[in-house]
């Protein structure tokens, strides 16, 4: 099975690259998906609620059709590959 992991904040920043310029991730957490998630989600959710809602709708749809697996404890999303 081919898969990748991400989080809603990371999907949001990937979908809206201009938002990345508005947020500085501290150097001491860069590269740690869990710490980045914990840092980013309250900022993105409060400052960009429209974009946050759109990404959440996309994630919900992908969970329903089996493309994504969501770990509610960690916030990590596994994106299922096409070779499952």
Structure tokens at 60: 């919900």
The pLDDT assigned to 3 comes to 53
Q: Where are the domains of the chain?
A: 3-80
The encoded tokens of residue 63 equal 């969970």
- Can you list the alpha helix ranges (DSSP code H) found in the chain? 8-15, 17-20, 33-47, 49-64
Q: pLDDT tens across 45-61, in order?
A: 999 999 999 999 999 99
CA 40 remoteness from chain centre:
9
Mean pLDDT of 71-79: 94
pTM of the predicted structure, to 2 decimals: 0.86
Q: Kindly state the percentage of the chain with pLDDT values over 70.
A: 93
Confidence of residue 2 (pLDDT cuts 50, 70, 90): very low
| CA separation for the pair 37, 30 (Å, rounded) | 10
Give the pairing of strands 68-71 and 3-7: unpaired
């Amino acid at each position: 099975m081919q898969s990748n992991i991400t989080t809603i904040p990371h999907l949001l920043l990937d979908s809206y690259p201009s938002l990345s310029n508005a947020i500085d991730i501290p150097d001491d957490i860069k590269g740690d998906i869990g710490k980045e998630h914990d840092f980013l989600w309250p900022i993105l959710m409060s400052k960009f609620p429209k974009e946050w809602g759109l990404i959440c709708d996309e994630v919900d749809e992908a969970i329903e059709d089996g493309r994504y697996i969501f770990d509610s404890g960690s916030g990590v999303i596994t994106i299922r590959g096409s070779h499952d």
